[in-house]
Chain A
Amino acid sequence: MSAKNDQLRKIARTLLAEGKVKYFLGNVRGADGFSSKPTTARTPEEANEFVWDPSCVNNMASYLHEDKKRVLKRGEEPDTRPIGIFVKGCDSRSVALNIQEHIFEREQIYIVGATCEGVVDVPKLKKAWMKRGLPVAATNTLQLSINGDEVIASFDGKQEKFAKDDVIMQRCKVCRYPNPVIYDELIGEQVEPKPDAYPDLEEMEAMSPAERWAFWTEQFSTCVRCLACRNVCPACYCRECSVQRSNPAFGPRTTPTEKMAKAQFSNKTPTMEDNFNFHMSRMYHMTGRCTNCGECNRVCPVGIPLRLLTRKMDKDVRETYDHESGLDTEPKNLLAEYDDDDPEGGFL
């Protein structure tokens, strides 16, 4: 077992054993061997299952919100201890964003950060694996690591090497924040960030408006509106989402008239208009807030390249306003700030 795993387990175990955190969010090995699975450790024993290797794609920051949404049982005292969380460089920005936006206070989260050389794109790795005719049954003992330009998979005492560029997530190839921006404890050596460039946007930016329209029309036509992109997003924390039409009550104290007056941006029906409506509303809500963790892109079951949109937005926001969210814990909000250097003469 790798030293990184041991380090993470030890930290989490100690925190839980000493009662310093109420629970700890991290990854355990998934059933198919290739992927890891987000989980909540409530006891030190459970923390012993944690892994930190290039299969840890999940951004644990989105699980923080559940704590806010939980309704206490009658007579239950709120547990004020911090939540322990494992984050990579990109995830740490999501946590920082939540602190910037006062969803959590800094001391409510105990951050165990890890420097990251990239995480694997599990479907890609699986495909490459199958292509080489490797024994699928061996994946239970699979261990992944990154060494320079190679992803090394070791199993049953054997080693299999893949070119890093072939099997890691697209988002890691342009990652400017491989090192956590905030943390209480750090695992690993500092990693060199990738250059500040947007090579992944070139193709889309070269398209004419008509071509872009056609491209996105086709992409959105397959959307099943599972809202996984919203649910997994660490910046989407509204208790009630404005794009979702819902007939029943919203809370015990919502009056019927209030319910009738609720905004409905789009119907539940996944028609083209509603799909556009949903995705575009989501993008605008993300303006200047998205930390580009790329989870929305990863989870999409029909493969809509949502990260093209968030990256484009990121680029425009940075070029126009020199704004980037989730880099520290100081309150900062693009839409609520005005500066004399802003390109517009006023903000209304």
Chain B
Amino acid sequence: MSDNPYEPMPARVIGVSMEAGGIRPVKKIQVAFINEEDKNNFKNVPGNCAILSMIGQGESMISITSPPTEKDFLEFAIMKVGVVTTALHELEVGDIVGVRGPYGNAFPIDDWKGKDIVIIGAGIGMAPIRSIYNYILHPDNRKDFGKVTLMYGARTPNDLSFKKELFEYEDQADPDVFLCIDWKFGPNGMMDEDAQEGWPRINMKDAGATVIPPGQTRFTCFVPQLVEMIKPSPENTIAITCGPPIAIKFITQNLSKLGFDDEQIFTTMENRMKCGIGKCGRCNIGEVFVCVDGPVFNYKQVKELLPEY
């Protein structure tokens, strides 16, 4: 690894798979460092990000979705939204990309040992927190944690990232998985029908009163209502959430209503970033640079930030 933090390390794409379709498709890309030295020096923890370089197109800060337990490659889930991510979507196995990092702080996973874990994702927001459940569910670490609950929602079943593994988890006893997809919208607003067969609607006005049929894990609703319905217990529990800013806002509100303390709720605040090393200035929220001081904050810290995110 070079001393120059701006210099990307070469890595080869070893796996590409489509995770979600739709207008903003998500692709999962696995890359392996070409130099052995880079591979050994790159030590990521859940919550870290890395900057992917597409030569001639630019760089993007992307969350690392593979857990540290995966030593051979790094995995990224990339939503096609901008210039660089579109270029990243065109990658094929064998192509070369640049990687630099890991950047940012980490989820304090060691402090969570012995606790129940609730993971709540919305949209592409599942990507930064996937590494957590992958780490926790790893056979070596599973015994250190209590009950694990995953809640995840996206626009349509097709938009759900990591659905293959999530659907597998649905069939297993551990972890608990609950999925939701958005309501269908017609010309007169929300339509009064299930968005998809097998995904029943719930009462949005009073989601907490919904009686969950045994074995039902799929619903038509928004993630905050899903949380309201599942009612995870705040007792000795840590909740981690990520998603679009508006979703985070309502999810945390609902968690607070359920009795979660601000310090029990963790989120990642991903802003636009360029340098990744706290120099270029754009990712600040008040005096905090998200790329070095974040992206992981607990809700107490979030409340102390200036309201500009």
Which residues of A does B touch, CB under 8 Å?
247-249, 255-257, 259-260
* Interface Cβ pair total, 8 Å cutoff: 23
- Subset of 19 A-B contacts with CB under 8 Å: A247-B58, A247-B82, A247-B83, A247-B84, A248-B82, A249-B81, A249-B82, A255-B23, A256-B80, A256-B81, A256-B82, A256-B85, A256-B86, A256-B89, A259-B83, A259-B86, A260-B83, A260-B86, A260-B87
Chain A residues with Cβ below 8 Å from B84 are 247
CB interface residues, B 69-121, toward A, < 8 Å: 80-87, 89
Chain B residues with Cβ below 8 Å from A249 are 81-82
Docked CA distance A246–B23 (Å)? 20
- Cβ of B143 < 8 Å from any Cβ of A? no
Closest A residue by C-beta to B79: A256
- Cβ of B249 < 8 Å from any Cβ of A? no
Docked CA distance A20–B81 (Å)? 43
Closest B residue by C-beta to A247: B83
Chain A residues with Cβ below 8 Å from B82 are 247-249, 256, 259
Interface residues as binary, B15-30 with A (CB distance below 8 Å gives 1, 0 otherwise): 0000000011000000
Chain A residues with Cβ below 8 Å from B81 are 249, 256
Chain B residues with Cβ below 8 Å from A255 are 23
CB interface residues, B 114-148, toward A, < 8 Å: none
Chain B residues with Cβ below 8 Å from A248 are 82, 272
Docked CA distance A249–B85 (Å)? 11
Docked CA distance A249–B79 (Å)? 13
Closest CB in chain B relative to A42 CB, distance in Å: 23
Docked CA distance A249–B80 (Å)? 11
Going nearest first, the 9 A-B pairs with the smallest beta carbon separation are A256-B86, A256-B80, A247-B83, A260-B86, A248-B82, A247-B82, A259-B83, A247-B58, A249-B82
Chain B residues with Cβ below 8 Å from A259 are 82-83, 86
How many residues of B are in contact with the other chain, CB < 8 A?
A: 13
Closest CB in chain B relative to A261 CB, distance in Å: 10
Docked CA distance A255–B22 (Å)? 11
Chain A residues with Cβ below 8 Å from B80 are 256
CB interface residues, B 1-56, toward A, < 8 Å: 23-24
Closest CB in chain A relative to B2 CB, distance in Å: 24
Docked CA distance A259–B80 (Å)? 11
Chain A residues with Cβ below 8 Å from B85 are 256
Docked CA distance A236–B85 (Å)? 30
Docked CA distance A248–B87 (Å)? 13
A256-B82, A259-B83 given; name 14 further pairs at CB < 8 Å.
Answer: A247-B58, A247-B84, A248-B82, A249-B82, A255-B23, A256-B80, A256-B81, A256-B85, A256-B86, A256-B89, A259-B82, A259-B86, A260-B83, A260-B86
Chain A residues with Cβ below 8 Å from B86 are 256-257, 259-260
Docked CA distance A152–B87 (Å)? 62
Docked CA distance A250–B87 (Å)? 17
Chain A residues with Cβ below 8 Å from B23 are 255
CB interface residues, B 138-190, toward A, < 8 Å: none
Chain A residues with Cβ below 8 Å from B58 are 247
Closest B residue by C-beta to A262: B83
Closest CB in chain A relative to B57 CB, distance in Å: 9
Docked CA distance A256–B86 (Å)? 6
Chain B residues with Cβ below 8 Å from A260 are 83, 86-87
Chain B residues with Cβ below 8 Å from A247 are 58, 82-84
Closest B residue by C-beta to A246: B83
Docked CA distance A257–B86 (Å)? 7
Closest CB in chain B relative to A75 CB, distance in Å: 13
Closest CB in chain B relative to A242 CB, distance in Å: 15
Docked CA distance A260–B89 (Å)? 12
Q: Which of B83, B85, B272 has the most CB of A within 10 A?
A: B83
Docked CA distance A255–B84 (Å)? 13
Closest CB in chain B relative to A71 CB, distance in Å: 15
Closest B residue by C-beta to A245: B83
Docked CA distance A248–B83 (Å)? 7
Q: Which of A248, A249, A256, A259 has the most CB of B within 10 A?
A: A256
Docked CA distance A259–B58 (Å)? 14
Q: Which of A247, A249, A257, A260 has the most CB of B within 10 A?
A: A247
Closest B residue by C-beta to A248: B82
CB interface residues, B 251-305, toward A, < 8 Å: 272
Docked CA distance A255–B83 (Å)? 10
Chain B residues with Cβ below 8 Å from A256 are 24, 80-82, 85-86, 89
Closest CB in chain B relative to A233 CB, distance in Å: 26
Docked CA distance A247–B85 (Å)? 10
Chain A residues with Cβ below 8 Å from B24 are 256
Docked CA distance A130–B277 (Å)? 46
Closest A residue by C-beta to B89: A256
Docked CA distance A247–B83 (Å)? 6
Docked CA distance A249–B83 (Å)? 8
Closest B residue by C-beta to A259: B83
Closest CB in chain B relative to A259 CB, distance in Å: 6
Docked CA distance A260–B82 (Å)? 8
Closest B residue by C-beta to A260: B86
Docked CA distance A260–B86 (Å)? 8
Closest CB in chain A relative to B56 CB, distance in Å: 12
Chain B residues with Cβ below 8 Å from A257 are 86
Closest CB in chain B relative to A244 CB, distance in Å: 13
Closest CB in chain B relative to A219 CB, distance in Å: 30
Chain A residues with Cβ below 8 Å from B83 are 247, 259-260
Docked CA distance A255–B85 (Å)? 12
Docked CA distance A257–B85 (Å)? 11
Docked CA distance A41–B81 (Å)? 39
Closest CB in chain A relative to B269 CB, distance in Å: 17
Docked CA distance A247–B58 (Å)? 9
Q: Which of B80, B82, B86 has the most CB of A within 10 A?
A: B82
Closest CB in chain A relative to B68 CB, distance in Å: 30
Chain A residues with Cβ below 8 Å from B87 are 260
Closest CB in chain A relative to B124 CB, distance in Å: 13
Docked CA distance A257–B84 (Å)? 11
